[in-house]
Structure formats: structure tokens, C-alpha cells
Chains A and B, each alone.
Chain A
Amino acid sequence: MDYGVPAALGVAPELMEEVSTGTTIMACVYDGGVVLGADSRTSTGNYVANRASDKITQVMDNVWMCRSGSAADTQNVCAFVKNAVEEHGIMSGSDEPGMADVKLVANVTMQIAYRNKDRLSAGMIIAGWDRRAGPQVFGIPLGGSLEKCDFTLGGSGSAYITGFCDDTWKPGMSREEAEAWIRRAISIAISRDASSGGVIRLVTIHEKGAEKQMFEPAQHPLAYDELPVIRREEVVA
């Protein structure tokens, strides 16, 4: 049991052994595309190292990835995947440079995660739109399994909203409904998971392209037993 680091940060050792690192990530399919969502908090122990991090990363123009777990591991996995998928596109003479099949990206990622399972701590969600199969979401949790699904959750905050998501999910939502649903779910996770917080980032991918959005705490739905957020207007130099 490592008493050194947890003791220095003032946390009981067994409470610091989180395997899926502080984050809430999720993605879902809607009628015509996918929506990916994530919080923006990176914490080391109790200290918030980055309150505005970006956990949704672009792999190809039409395929993005949500990352949770060790930052180093997911960064490097993503770099490998980008490289492998681009090379595949060139070698196979793809007529859409910059785009790739979502299933291809997911499988490449899965192979890396599975074959290095004892070395990696990376939970990822691959989601995107391609012309062959339309909108798709794939979850690749710890261990390197691959599962195609309508929606999936990841990170420590996901435990708090699994019941909510199961209960309120419906297929064939519109883009606005899907975005509102993801925002609501992530804000609920943020309200109970101390390792998740900050802004809610959304990326929506559809036939025409991808759009990024950011929602400040003032724009989150109000959580139970909390006070409505006040925006601070003046900017401190």
C-alpha cells in the first residue's frame, strides 16, 4: 500500500486507488449523427490540475474519441491510431482523404488496447459518422474489448448516471434532444462525482461535419441541493 503520495495529498490510501480516472465521458447516437460529451476536470489527488481540459480528441474529420484513464496512455494510443488509420487510407486508395470508417478506427484502437492490456490504463469511446454505416458509437473499456452500442458511458462519473441513462434513453432522438440529454447526464454526474467538473464539452458529428460546443457551469441544469450559479462578469487582469 503506497502511503507516500496519498498521505502527502491528505487522502486515505484506499480511497486514492481509482482505476478509471476522474472524468465523465459519454457518447450517443441520434437520428442522423452522434453526440460525444465530456467534463473538463483533470485532478491529481484532490488538486484540480486543469479545470478546462479537452477530453474529446479528433482522430479523423468524421471520427472523434473520448478519453479517460491515464492521460499519457490515451494520448499515445490516439497518436498511434491516427497514424495507422491515415496510412491505411493512403494505402487503400481512399477517395475521401481525412475521413475513415468508424468501425476501422474502433478496431485499430481495440487491437492496441487489447494487445497491451497489462500495460495500459485507458478507457475510450470512439464515435463518428461515415457514409457506409451512418452514425456509430463504440466503447473500448479497460481490458481492450470492443462493443458497439447506442450509447455508452465512461470514467469515474459514469457510475453515478448509469441508472439515469438506462431509464431516460430513447432511440431516434433529434440532434437537440440528444445534446440536451448528454448535457443533463453529465451535469448530474458532475453534481455527485468530485473528480468530474468544470465545463461540459460536446462534439456533434453528422454527414456535413463536426461541431464543438462548450457549456459553462452557469448553463448546466441546476442540481439537487445546490445553489444557482452566478457568472462573474468583471475580468481580473
Chain B
Amino acid sequence: MIPTRVSHNPIIGPGVVPFGVDPAYDAQYKLNQAPRSHVASHGQGKPFTVEPGPHQRTQYPYVTGTTVLGCKYKDGVMIACDTLCCYGSTKRYKSVERIKKVNSSTIISFTGELSDFHYIVSLLEELDTTDYCEDDGSELAPWEIHSYLCRVMYNRRNKFDPLWNSLVVAGVKHGRTFLGTVGMIGQHYEDSHLAAGFGNHMARPLFREKHTDDMSEEDARKLMEDCLRACLMRDKTMMNKFQIAKVTAGGLEISEPFQVPMNWGYEKFKDPTKHAVGAW
């Protein structure tokens, strides 16, 4: 809130200073008048320590989340991911909620920089608050949220200051099941099964082979677990602690953390170089 400037000028009289009298004060007011929907209102979008000279804006990710998997099934759509955020090669935070509820019909998850995802969630919370205040019984649909995020990501990319995330948005509304993704350069698409991060290489081939749009929930869950296991074996920044969230016409639910059974008991693992002299 910009404090209203009160006048004590005997000519104008007591009260609020009207527009046009104090340019410095008016300039403040103007800044807030223009619609800036891509910038959280509490942040103003400007760094408070600004060095003069040319800026290099492209960042690097520091605390990162890895793979997200998503697939549609008969009753709706489900998303799964682990609860780990790494700091480079350190498994730093092991109980991170990487799936967030946006509103009663939409869930979102991410790979990439954790802080940028928190920022995106705060933008979405503002959207949700606006919906709530309007109080007309209508909420943003999953595809509308997806579309909004496409614009946000693409516009940041154009300023060479991307939000270093790949997002997966999923939801069910008005009988339409939606599963879409947005990347850090604004690329976006929808599909029956999606992944962000390593899952694109490890899990999508499994989905392509076994996924059908009318799978039952148990089949979809089992396929999801198989894909999570494939990713877990081959991605070093993944841990065996997952959450699955599903959205159906009846509502949405994010599960408690669970683990996936692993197979390490192969005979050939015990002495892998037995018959290969000099091997490693």
C-alpha cells in the first residue's frame, strides 16, 4: 500500500493531494497502475541490489528437483515424483513436497530450481485468491492455468531471465481430463502421458508401450511404479521416496510418501568381474 499523501497546504486545504501536483508521488502510483500479472505483487519484480552496467541474467539452478511423471487413466489423471531436492550432487532435502495443489481441480509439479517453483506457486496462489474473492463459484480450469504458465515462462525467457523449471500441470474439470507441460523456454504441449526431466528418457518409452487412456486406477498405478523404479535405478539425483497425486471428477488427493520395491539380488551383481579378467 502506498500511503496517501496528505496536504497541509493552506491554499489547497487539508486533505489528499490530487493527481498532478506532486510528480514524485504520482510516479509511485503509476507503477502500480499498469497490469503486471506476471509479477507477484509483494515482489515488484526488481532486485534491490542493482549493479550498473550490462547484466547477465541467465541463472544456474542450485537446489533442484528431478523427474516428474504424469499419465491419464480411466477416471482422471495422476502425477508422481520423489520428495528429494539436490544441491548439485548432494542429496540435501529429503522431504520436499514437489507436487502442489493449485485449486480444487488442478495439481502441478516441477523439475529444476526449487526457488523458482516456489515463486511460481506464489503467482498461482495470487490467481487463486482473486478467484476466491470474486466468489462466483468459478475457478480457473487446469488448461487455463497451463496457458497462464506458458505466458509467464515464455515472457521470462524473452528477458533472458528464465524460471529454471519444467512444469507438469494436471487436472479434471467439466468432464475434460487435462495433462500438459511447460518448459523453461516456454515450450508446451499436452499428451496422455508426460514426463519432466530424466523421466523423458527412462519412463516415456515404458508409457508408450504399456499405457492406454482407459487403464484402471490399479493398472495405472502399477505402471507408474514401474516407471518410477526405472527412473530410480538410473538417475543419481532420485531417492526411493515418492508421492502420487491423482485428480478425478470427484476431487484430488496427494498421497503420503511411499517407497517402491527394488531388485538388487541378482547373482551376477555379486562378482561382476569374475569371468572378465582385468575388467571393472
Residues of chain A with a CB closer than 8 A to B264's CB: 52, 198-199, 216-218, 231
* B272 A52 Cβ-Cβ under 8 A: yes
* A191 B91 Cβ-Cβ under 8 A: yes
Residue A54 CB within 8 A of the other chain: yes
Residue A121 CB within 8 A of the other chain: no
* B257 A46 Cβ-Cβ under 8 A: no
Residues of chain B with a CB closer than 8 A to A67's CB: 280
* B272 A54 Cβ-Cβ under 8 A: yes
Interface residues of A in 181-200 (CB under 8 A from B): 191-195, 197-199
Residue A57 CB within 8 A of the other chain: yes
Chain B residue nearest to A212 in the complex (CB): B271
A76 to B78, CA, bound (A): 49
Chain A count of residues within 8 A CB distance of the other chain: 50
* A214 B269 Cβ-Cβ under 8 A: yes
Beyond A217-B264, A225-B94, whether A194 also contacts B259 by CB under 8 A is no
Contacting chain A: which of B12-20, B22-30, B230-238? Answer: B230-238
* A43 B265 Cβ-Cβ under 8 A: no
Interface residues of A in 112-145 (CB under 8 A from B): none
Chain B count of residues within 8 A CB distance of the other chain: 41
Interface centre among B62, B88, B257 (most CB of A within 10 A): B88
Residue B158 CB within 8 A of the other chain: no
Residues of chain B with a CB closer than 8 A to A214's CB: 269-270
* A46 B88 Cβ-Cβ under 8 A: no
* B60 A225 Cβ-Cβ under 8 A: no
Interface centre among A18, A47, A67, A217 (most CB of B within 10 A): A47
Residue B197 CB within 8 A of the other chain: yes
Residues of chain A with a CB closer than 8 A to B260's CB: 230
Beyond A53-B280, A57-B280, A194-B91, whether A231 also contacts B262 by CB under 8 A is yes
Interface centre among B61, B89, B272, B273 (most CB of A within 10 A): B89
A153 to B60, CA, bound (A): 31
* A71 B280 Cβ-Cβ under 8 A: yes
* B280 A75 Cβ-Cβ under 8 A: yes
Residue B207 CB within 8 A of the other chain: no
Beyond A226-B241, A227-B241, whether A194 also contacts B272 by CB under 8 A is no
Beyond A194-B86, A214-B269, whether A232 also contacts B263 by CB under 8 A is yes
A34 to B101, CA, bound (A): 53
**Hey, which bits of chain B sit against chain A, CB under 8 A?**
60-62, 66, 86, 88-92, 94-95, 197-198, 229, 233-237, 239-241, 257-266, 268-273, 278, 280
Given A47-B235, A48-B233, A199-B264, 10 other A-B residues pairs in contact with their CB atoms under 8 A: A46-B236, A46-B237, A54-B273, A57-B280, A194-B89, A195-B89, A212-B271, A226-B240, A227-B259, A236-B263
